Chain A
Amino acid sequence: AQSVAQPEDQVNVAEGNPLTVKCTYSVSGNPYLFWYVQYPNRGLQFLLKYITGDNLVKGSYGFEAEFNKSQTSFHLKKPSALVSDSALYFCAVRGPSSNTGKLIFGQGTTLQVKP
């Protein structure tokens, strides 16, 4: 079965420092991986995705993610964190069937950026 794990419930980082939010996955076949962000009382906003190609994916708001097949990881990164980046981040993998795009989500990681 396909699954996603986000090993950290919360990540704390100082403003201006680089941030990493970790994600590992387990899939059969080629993984389609996604990152979403959720601000309080809001829906999920798409940040970026990996389908194929370059292992370094660039997304919205200065975020990027590195796909590592050997480590089955897809960590989200940003070179310089902003206080406004504080939110709940979800990693997701597309489900196993080829005719459905249903997403399987990790449990989420709260990012806290302190001034």
Chain B
Amino acid sequence: DSGVTQTPKHLITATGQRVTLRCSPRSGDLSVYWYQQSLDQGLQFLIQYYNGEERAKGNILERFSAQQFPDLHSELNLSSLELGDSALYFCASSAQGVGETQYFGPGTRLLVL
């Protein structure tokens, strides 16, 4: 158990809908990262937050947004969902510092029908 929790584990929804994925980082970790894992794209970095502020952005679609709250949990919002958004979404957290290890949550499997 990495100490990173994600809810829900599974999500089935329809095209055009909006969903929210939730992540709680390990105790004491200020950084939260979101990644998408799909068969065709592999593991792709989406976005990073550090202590409530956006720190880095990857190839995240404009339909996707995220935030980190004062209690350090993070939410990833996916809207106007398309079939191609079906994927495994991981959250990871790390302490501050160069080269700090990222610890991954169990992921949320999203299926868009």
Contacts and interface: CB of A to CB of B under 8 A. Distances in A.
Contacts of A32: 98-99
Interface residues of B, number: 26
Contacts of B102: 34, 46, 101, 103
Contact of A105 (B43, B99, B100, B107): B43
Contacts of B92: 44
| Interface of A (DSSP majority class) | loop
Most B-side CB within 10 Å, residue of A42, A43, A95, A101: A101
Contacts, number: 63
Contacts of A99: 55-56
A100 B48 contact: yes
A33 to B, nearest CB: 10
A22 interface: no
Contacts of A98: 98
